[in-house]
Chain A
């Protein structure tokens, strides 16, 4: 309650918290590094205080080449999934909706599995996952427009049909895949991992994902109106169809990109918006950026756990589910009142 009275506090505090969390995430791992070392590396890289070349090389390799891509990937993927989840909840007027509602995850899963089956290289697998994720949503939206003029309930049904279609296609791919090499690769990919991210890849995805998140945040007040009902939003001057399809397109693009980067990571898009709502209230112009920040934090934490929990890495999709369920139950207790 006291936080919602000072709505700017989380918005100002969140970037600082996120910076600290990124530093912490860079320092922990199989070879723990003091934060001091990371700051010294940063100082050397910026040309303030040079380090001995061999120490610089070791630190650079560990921090920048190995850990930084993962940390940045976690931030990007978490922010993308959480903010598109929050935007979807507003567009579909349902707090239990997640970004996968229209079939993007099912489509991307099939695309990646197909790529693995065809023994494509990793970049092609990612491209295929992205393309199939977008295709699945296009099919779902197409069904909705064909049969119901794009009404919300038809969009949901179209998404269910499309997701079911791609799930069955995925099963088919799994069935025909080579059980010794390809099937484990498919199953492992479906559990999600940030390990394959490299710096150039993360860099090239930063712009579209960041742009998508910013676009969703800019539509916050239109989403508030939209969540009250189509007719109301229209009489308040909101171009309902344009906003709805822009949100669907932006959320689909960023979700498909996250899947192509890190595989299937569940629960973030569903629970993080609820936590954000408890902090800053339901107004979407504050909720969407807060969700993005909290999503980044959440996934940073989950990835740090997945790297350090045991000697072998635990797939991050499993970690987010394991943490997500108790967090969701906690949030449920406090949020339930608002749903009645």
Chain B
């Protein structure tokens, strides 16, 4: 199961305003790729283009060598899945039924849900460790659990490429870190994951590659520790942050001390000296 999504020279304009102006991006099996960019940089637009929800004004998007526009929707849905930001449904569908929606591309609109569909849904629930939530209403579980249910739905689709819109958005600190670990595990199992994020720390923790979207282009693409530098962060977010290397070699960003003076009597800490 090896899959690659490749975008070349994508251009897109909305109401006369150029949103994307020559974007090159790719994501393949076995990697977690983070898409970083300021608010309004066009991250969501890019995701919608990659999912085939919008048509680019120019450029090409290929899935394993075939233009996605040439792949019928149902077949595309079995190979490329969208995991939206956590949301609340107006109706209390059971978690199992939400995951079973991932079988729509297999069973068809009015097709019957068969034993193989139920097995796929159960396997996805088990894979994410939420089989105990199967009979709970989707509206009554926590945000972190809802995000897991949406990922389970993507797995039930049978897709090996997952496009995720801010998967850590709205999750508490612990769930954010657990989710990042889960994405890393999925990549190790051969899934390819493209996600947007607003947290450089989430990029450093668990992404194989980061792509920086700015002024409608990918201005940098590579290993997070090489790409995320103090000047880049300043130009991207207009804030000054200091990179610190931990004892075990990992990189973290801390706000520059001049911007957030420590309150009187607060003990000074030096991340570079702290034990891992």
B266 within 8 A of A: no
- The answer to whether residues A282 and B81 also contact, given A218-B110, A219-B109, A236-B105 and a CB cut-off of 8 A, is no
Whether the pair A236, B102 counts as a contact (CB closer than 8 A) is yes
Contacts of A90 in B (CB 8 A): 91
A231 within 8 A of B: yes
Contacts of A167 in B (CB 8 A): none
Whether the pair A225, B104 counts as a contact (CB closer than 8 A) is yes
Whether the pair A224, B97 counts as a contact (CB closer than 8 A) is yes
Binary contact track A188-200/B, C-beta < 8 Å → 1, others 0: 0000000000000
Whether the pair B137, A283 counts as a contact (CB closer than 8 A) is no
Whether the pair B94, A281 counts as a contact (CB closer than 8 A) is yes
Contacts of B104 in A (CB 8 A): 221-222, 225, 236-238
Contacts of A237 in B (CB 8 A): 73-74, 76-77, 104-105
Q: How far is the CB of A8 from chain B (nearest CB, A)?
A: 14
Whether the pair B93, A234 counts as a contact (CB closer than 8 A) is no
A93 within 8 A of B: yes
Q: Tell me the bound Cα distance from A228 to B137 in angstroms.
A: 14
Whether the pair A235, B51 counts as a contact (CB closer than 8 A) is yes
- The answer to whether residues A232 and B109 also contact, given A90-B91, A283-B93, A339-B90 and a CB cut-off of 8 A, is no
Whether the pair B93, A282 counts as a contact (CB closer than 8 A) is yes
Contacts of B256 in A (CB 8 A): none
Whether the pair A338, B137 counts as a contact (CB closer than 8 A) is yes
Contacts of B157 in A (CB 8 A): 236
Q: Tell me the bound Cα distance from A339 to B51 in angstroms.
A: 30
Q: Tell me the bound Cα distance from A234 to B77 in angstroms.
A: 9
Contacts of B73 in A (CB 8 A): 234, 237, 239
B12 within 8 A of A: no
Contacts of A232 in B (CB 8 A): 82, 84
Secondary structure type dominating chain B contacts: mixed
Binary contact track A210-234/B, C-beta < 8 Å → 1, others 0: 0000000011011011011101101
B53 within 8 A of A: yes
- The answer to whether residues A238 and B109 also contact, given A227-B89, A227-B91 and a CB cut-off of 8 A, is yes
A95 within 8 A of B: yes
Q: Tell me the bound Cα distance from A229 to B87 in angstroms.
A: 10
Q: How far is the CB of B98 from chain A (nearest CB, A)?
A: 8
A171 within 8 A of B: no
Binary contact track A316-340/B, C-beta < 8 Å → 1, others 0: 0000000000000000000001111
Residue of B nearest to A218 (CB): B110
Contacts of A225 in B (CB 8 A): 101, 104
Contacts of A235 in B (CB 8 A): 51-53, 77, 80-82
Pick the most buried of A229, A338, A339: most chain B CB atoms within 10 A of its CB: A338
Q: How far is the CB of A147 from chain B (nearest CB, A)?
A: 14
- The answer to whether residues A221 and B92 also contact, given A228-B101, A338-B137, A338-B139 and a CB cut-off of 8 A, is no
Whether the pair B48, A282 counts as a contact (CB closer than 8 A) is no
A145 within 8 A of B: no
Whether the pair B90, A234 counts as a contact (CB closer than 8 A) is no
A94 within 8 A of B: yes
Contacts of A243 in B (CB 8 A): 109
Whether the pair A94, B90 counts as a contact (CB closer than 8 A) is yes
Binary contact track A256-289/B, C-beta < 8 Å → 1, others 0: 0000000000000000000001000111000000
Residue of B nearest to A340 (CB): B139
Q: How far is the CB of A144 from chain B (nearest CB, A)?
A: 19
Whether the pair B77, A236 counts as a contact (CB closer than 8 A) is yes
Whether the pair B81, A338 counts as a contact (CB closer than 8 A) is no
Whether the pair A283, B105 counts as a contact (CB closer than 8 A) is no
Contacts of B102 in A (CB 8 A): 236
Q: How far is the CB of B103 from chain A (nearest CB, A)?
A: 9
Q: How far is the CB of B169 from chain A (nearest CB, A)?
A: 15
Q: Tell me the bound Cα distance from A304 to B91 in angstroms.
A: 33
Q: Tell me the bound Cα distance from A88 to B233 in angstroms.
A: 47
Contacts of A338 in B (CB 8 A): 91-92, 137, 139
Contacts of A281 in B (CB 8 A): 92-94, 97
Q: How far is the CB of B226 from chain A (nearest CB, A)?
A: 33
Whether the pair A95, B91 counts as a contact (CB closer than 8 A) is yes
Residue of B nearest to A224 (CB): B101
Contacts of A229 in B (CB 8 A): 84, 87
Q: How far is the CB of B249 from chain A (nearest CB, A)?
A: 38
Residue of B nearest to A96 (CB): B90
Q: How far is the CB of B191 from chain A (nearest CB, A)?
A: 16
Whether the pair B48, A95 counts as a contact (CB closer than 8 A) is no
Q: Tell me the bound Cα distance from A95 to B139 in angstroms.
A: 14
Q: How far is the CB of B26 from chain A (nearest CB, A)?
A: 19
Binary contact track B157-171/A, C-beta < 8 Å → 1, others 0: 100000000000000
Known: A90-B91, A282-B92. 5 other contacts (CB 8 A): A94-B90, A228-B89, A231-B53, A238-B109, A338-B91
28 example contacts (A-B, Cβ-Cβ < 8 A) are as follows A90-B91, A93-B90, A94-B90, A221-B101, A221-B104, A221-B110, A222-B110, A227-B90, A228-B87, A228-B89, A229-B84, A229-B87, A231-B53, A231-B84, A232-B84, A235-B77, A236-B101, A236-B102, A236-B104, A237-B73, A237-B77, A237-B104, A237-B105, A238-B109, A281-B92, A283-B93, A283-B97, A337-B140
* 9 A-B pairs closest in CB distance: A282-B91, A235-B82, A237-B74, A338-B92, A237-B105, A237-B77, A236-B104, A237-B73, A218-B110
